[in-house]
């Protein structure tokens, strides 16, 4: 029998965010769902904030359900995320990302075999 490994909620969130491919984005709510934590979109933002600085995490690929960056537009963080998305090839027009074009849709194989929880 395989051993039961327990993964903490925050680790599940980090794991899912790491799966978001370059060139795509995913909403806080969707990340929560994929992590098996429905209804906890706000916790995803908490988890990203709490990630150790040395951890390389594509946090910039997480946007809100409207396809907008969740920082206030006059902040450094906003500009930072904007630039990282640009480097990913994701275009932000008038502060908005076209989800119909850039939203990450994990394929079945990813859902079944790459998520160990």
Q: Contact residues for DNA (CB under 7 A)?
A: 9-10, 27-30, 39-46, 48-49, 59-60, 62, 64-66, 70-71, 77, 94-96
The CB-of-41 to DNA minimum distance in angstroms stands at 3
SS3 63: strand
Pick 64 or 110: Cβ nearer DNA = 64
φ, ψ of residue 93 to 5 degrees: the values are: -105, 125
Pick 2 or 74: Cβ nearer DNA = 74
Of 55, 58, 66, 57, nearest to 29 by C-alpha is 66
- Cα 6 to Cα 11, 12, 62: the distances in Å are 10, 10, 25
The CB-of-113 to DNA minimum distance in angstroms stands at 25
Pick 2 or 6: Cβ nearer DNA = 6
- Tell me the β-bridge partners of 103: 25
The CB-of-81 to DNA minimum distance in angstroms stands at 7
The CB-of-99 to DNA minimum distance in angstroms stands at 11
Residue 15 contacts residue 35 (beta carbons within 8 Å): yes
């Amino acid at each position: 029998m395989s051993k039961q490994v327990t993964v903490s909620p925050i680790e599940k969130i980090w794991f899912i965010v790491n799966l978001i491919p370059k060139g795509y984005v995913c909403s806080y709510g969707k990340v929560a769902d994929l992590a098996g934590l429905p209804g906890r979109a706000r916790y995803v933002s908490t988890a990203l904030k709490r990630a150790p600085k040395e951890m390389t995490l594509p946090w910039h690929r997480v946007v809100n359900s409207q396809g907008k960056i969740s920082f206030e537009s006059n902040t450094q963080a906003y500009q930072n995320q904007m630039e990282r998305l640009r480097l990913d090839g994701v275009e932000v027009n008038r502060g908005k990302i076209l989800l119909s074009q850039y939203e990450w849709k994990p394929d079945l194989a990813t859902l079944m075999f790459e998520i160990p929880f």
